Amino acid sequence: MFSLAEENYLKAIYHLESKHKGAVSTNAIAEVMDTKPSSVTDMVQKLADKKVLSYVKYKGTSLTDEGRKTAANVIRKHRLWEVFLVDKLKFHWDEVHDIAEQLEHVHSEELIARLDKFLGFPDFDPHGDPIPDKNGNVKPTEKKLLSELNKKQHGVCVGVKESNSDFLQYLDKKNITIGTKISVLGKEFFDGSMVIQVGRDQFFISKKIAENLYIQTN
Amino acid sequence: MFSLAEENYLKAIYHLESKHKGAVSTNAIAEVMDTKPSSVTDMVQKLADKKVLSYVKYKGTSLTDEGRKTAANVIRKHRLWEVFLVDKLKFHWDEVHDIAEQLEHVHSEELIARLDKFLGFPDFDPHGDPIPDKNGNVKPTEKKLLSELNKKQHGVCVGVKESNSDFLQYLDKKNITIGTKISVLGKEFFDGSMVIQVGRDQFFISKKIAENLYIQTN
DNA sequence: TCTTAAATTTAGACAAGGCTAAAAATAAAA
DNA sequence: TTTTATTTTTAGCCTTGTCTAAATTTAAGA
Tell me the per-residue pLDDT of B122-145, one tens digit each, with 9 for 90 and over: 988 988 889 999 999 998 777 889
Tell me the per-residue pLDDT of B15-70, one tens digit each, with 9 for 90 and over: 999 988 889 999 999 999 999 999 999 999 999 999 999 999 999 999 999 999 99
- Spacing of B31 CA from D19 C1' in Å: 15
How many angstroms separate the CA atoms of B14 and A215, rounded?
51
The domain spans of chain B are 4-63, 143-216
Residue B85 C-alpha, separation from nearest chain A C-alpha, in angstroms: 8
At residue A39, the pLDDT reads 98
Residue partners of A37: CB distance under 8 A and separation at least 6: A26, A27, A30
Q: Which fold has domain B4-63?
A: Arc Repressor Mutant, subunit A (1.10.10)
Chain A residues within 8 Å of chain B (Cβ atoms)? 85, 88-91, 95, 98-99, 102-103, 106-108, 110-111, 114-115, 118
Element (H, E) at A14: helix A4-19
> How much of chain B, in percent, has pLDDT values that exceed 70?
100
**Chain A residue closest to B115 (CA)?**
A89
At residue A58, the pLDDT reads 96
Interface test with B, best of A82, A101, A108 (most B CBs within 10 A): A108
How many angstroms separate the CA atoms of A130 and A120, rounded?
14
Tell me if B106 and A111 make a contact (CB, 8 A cut-off). no
Q: Is the pLDDT of residue A137 over 90?
A: yes
Q: pLDDT confidence of A131, banded at 50, 70, 90?
A: very high
How many angstroms separate the CA atoms of A101 and B183, rounded?
46
Interface predicted TM-score (ipTM) of this complex, two decimals: 0.88
Q: pLDDT confidence of B112, banded at 50, 70, 90?
A: very high
- Spacing of B15 CA from C5 C1' in Å: 29
Render B83-111 in DSSP notation, one character per residue: HIIIIIT---TTT-HHHHHHHTT---HHH
At residue B185, the pLDDT reads 96
User: Which residue is nearest nucleotide C6, judged by alpha carbon to C1' distance?
Assistant: B27
At residue B141, the pLDDT reads 75
How many angstroms separate the CA atoms of A205 and A81, rounded?
31
Q: Which nucleotides of C are covered by protein (CB under 7 A)?
A: 7-12, 16-22, 25-26
**A32 C-beta neighbours (distance < 10 Å), count:** 15
**B188 C-beta neighbours (distance < 10 Å), count:** 11
Residue A126 C-alpha, separation from nearest chain B C-alpha, in angstroms: 17
How many angstroms separate the CA atoms of B187 and A127, rounded?
59
**What average pLDDT does the structure give for chain A?**
94
Tell me the per-residue pLDDT of A10-69, one tens digit each, with 9 for 90 and over: 999 999 999 888 899 999 999 999 999 999 999 999 999 999 999 999 999 999 999 999
Residue A72 C-alpha, separation from nearest chain B C-alpha, in angstroms: 21
State which amino acid sits at residue B205: I
Task: Tell which residue, B178, B181, B183, B199, has the closest CA to residue B120.
Answer: B178
Tell me the per-residue pLDDT of B78-90, one tens digit each, with 9 for 90 and over: 999 999 999 999 9
Residue A189: HSE in the Cβ half-sphere, 13 Å Cα cutoff: 2
Which nucleotide across the nucleic acid strands is nearest to A37, CA versus C1'?
D8
Tell me the per-residue pLDDT of B152-204, one tens digit each, with 9 for 90 and over: 999 999 888 887 888 888 998 999 988 899 999 999 989 999 999 999 999 99
Task: Tell which residue, B36, B110, B141, B46, has the closest CA to residue A85.
Answer: B110
Terminal Cα distance for chain A, rounded: 38
Q: Is the pLDDT of residue A109 over 80?
A: yes
At residue B133, the pLDDT reads 96
Terminal Cα distance for chain B, rounded: 38
Q: Is nucleic acid strand D under 7 Å from A27's C-beta?
A: yes
Task: Tell which residue, B74, B57, B58, has the closest CA to residue B13.
Answer: B74
Tell me if A99 and B106 make a contact (CB, 8 A cut-off). yes
At residue A172, the pLDDT reads 87
Residue partners of B57: CB distance under 8 A and separation at least 6: none
How many angstroms separate the CA atoms of B38 and B139, rounded?
36
Q: How far is residue A142 from each of residues A99, A156, A216, B49, measured CA to CA in Å?
A: 28, 11, 5, 56
User: Which residue is nearest nucleotide C10, judged by alpha carbon to C1' distance?
Assistant: B38
Interface test with A, best of B78, B89, B95 (most A CBs within 10 A): B89
Tell me if B98 and A111 make a contact (CB, 8 A cut-off). no
Q: Which CATH architecture has domain B143-216?
A: Roll (2.30)
- Spacing of A69 CA from D29 C1' in Å: 64
Tell me if B103 and A99 make a contact (CB, 8 A cut-off). no
Q: Is the pLDDT of residue A204 over 90?
A: yes
Q: Which of residues 162-181 of A touch strand D (CB under 7 A)?
A: none
- Spacing of A26 CA from C27 C1' in Å: 15
Task: Tell which residue, B45, B83, B22, B19, has the closest CA to residue B9.
Answer: B45
Task: Tell which residue, A116, A86, A129, A150, has the closest CA to residue A216.
Answer: A129
The burial of B197, by beta-carbon neighbours within 10 Å (0-12 exposed, 13-18 middle, 19 or more buried), is given as middle
Q: pLDDT confidence of A128, banded at 50, 70, 90?
A: confident
